[in-house]
Amino acid sequence: MNKFNIGEYLCNREKGTNKGHCKQCSAAVLWSRERIASHKRKSCPVPLTENEKDLFAIKKIRRDEQELTFNSNEPIVQNIQLLDADKKDKIDKAFSHFFFRTGISFRVADSDAFRKLIKELNPLYHEVLPNSSKLCTQMLQNEHSKLRDVLDKLLENASELTLTSDGWSNIRGEHLVNFIIQAPNHKPIFYKTINTSGITQTSEAISNEITNVILEVGEKKFCALITDNAVVMRGAWKLIESRFPHISANGCAAHVMNLLIKDIMDISIYKQVATSAGKIIKFINNHHNVLAKFEEIKNDIGVTHKLSLPVTTRWYSHYISINDLINAKYACIKLVDTEPTIADITPKDKSKEVINLIRNNVFWEKAILLAKILEYPTKIIGIFENDSSTLDKVYHYFGELYKHFEHDIVIQQLVKKRWDFIMTESIGISYMLSPASVLNNFYIDDDKIDIMGQIKSIADTRYGDDVGEKVLPEFTKFVDKIKNLNESRKATILNLNAINYWKLIGFNEFPNLYKIASTTCGIPCSSAASERIWSTYRFIHSRLRNRLGNDKIEKLVFIYINCSNLDTCDIEDYISEEIITCSD
pLDDT digits (tens, 9 = 90+) for 147-173: 999 999 999 989 999 999 999 999 889
Q: Who wins on pLDDT, 523 or 26?
A: 523
DSSP-assigned letter for residue 73: T
> For 290-334, how does the pLDDT look when each residue is reduced to its tens digit (9 = 90+)?
999 999 999 999 999 999 999 877 888 999 999 999 999 999 999
Q: β-pairing, 222-227 with 161-169?
A: parallel
| CA 257/CA 228 separation, integer angstroms | 12
Show the 3-state SS of 449-468. HHHHHHHHHHHHHHHCHHHH
Tell me which range, 8-17, 29-38, 97-106, is most confidently predicted by mean pLDDT.
Answer: 97-106
| pLDDT value of residue 204 | 96
Largest CA-CA distance found in the chain, in angstroms, rounded = 96
| CA 245/CA 461 separation, integer angstroms | 9
Residue 524: strand, helix, or coil: strand
Q: Do the Cβ atoms of 167 and 176 come closer than 8 Å? A: yes
Closest CA to 395 of 416, 412, 409, 414: 416
Q: β-pairing, 175-182 with 222-227?
A: unpaired
Q: Do the Cβ atoms of 275 and 240 come closer than 8 Å? A: no
The residues, ordered by sequence, that sit 6+ positions from 76 with a Cβ below 8 Å of its Cβ are 3, 4, 33, 68, 70
Q: Do the Cβ atoms of 510 and 521 come closer than 8 Å? A: no
| pLDDT value of residue 58 | 56
- 238 pLDDT exceeds 90? yes
Closest CA to 150 of 563, 569, 573, 568: 563
* pLDDT > 70 fraction of the chain, expressed in percent and rounded: 91
CA atoms within 13 A on the CB side of 24: 12
- 32 pLDDT exceeds 70? yes
- 576 pLDDT exceeds 70? no
DSSP-assigned letter for residue 343: G
- 55 pLDDT exceeds 80? no
A 10 A CB-CB count for 489 gives 12
Closest CA to 313 of 269, 263, 262: 262
Residue 424 backbone phi and psi in degrees, to 5: -135, 170
The residues, ordered by sequence, that sit 6+ positions from 288 with a Cβ below 8 Å of its Cβ are none
| pLDDT value of residue 147 | 94
Closest CA to 384 of 240, 520, 258, 203: 258
Q: What mean pLDDT is reported for the chain?
A: 89
Closest CA to 225 of 195, 196, 245: 245
pLDDT band at 82 (very low <50, low <70, confident <90, very high): low
| CA 187/CA 329 separation, integer angstroms | 41
Cα 534 versus chain centre, distance: 7
| pLDDT value of residue 544 | 73
- 72 pLDDT exceeds 50? no
Residue 157: strand, helix, or coil: coil
Residue 18 backbone phi and psi in degrees, to 5: 60, 35
| CA 532/CA 561 separation, integer angstroms | 10
Residue 127: strand, helix, or coil: coil
pLDDT band at 78 (very low <50, low <70, confident <90, very high): very low
Q: Do the Cβ atoms of 109 and 97 come closer than 8 Å? A: no
- 117 pLDDT exceeds 50? yes
285: enclosing H helix or E strand: helix 268-286
Closest CA to 489 of 501, 507, 474: 501
| CA 515/CA 305 separation, integer angstroms | 49
End-to-end CA gap in the chain: 62
Cis peptide before 75 (omega within 30 of 0): no
Q: Who wins on pLDDT, 360 or 34?
A: 360
> For 427-459, how does the pLDDT look when each residue is reduced to its tens digit (9 = 90+)?
999 999 999 999 989 999 999 999 999 999 999
Closest CA to 319 of 280, 264, 250: 264
> For 337-365, how does the pLDDT look when each residue is reduced to its tens digit (9 = 90+)?
998 888 888 888 899 999 999 999 999 99
Looking at the whole model, is its pTM more than 0.85?
A: no
Q: Once rounded to an integer, what is the mean pLDDT over residues 455-472?
A: 94
| pLDDT value of residue 551 | 93
| CA 185/CA 565 separation, integer angstroms | 12
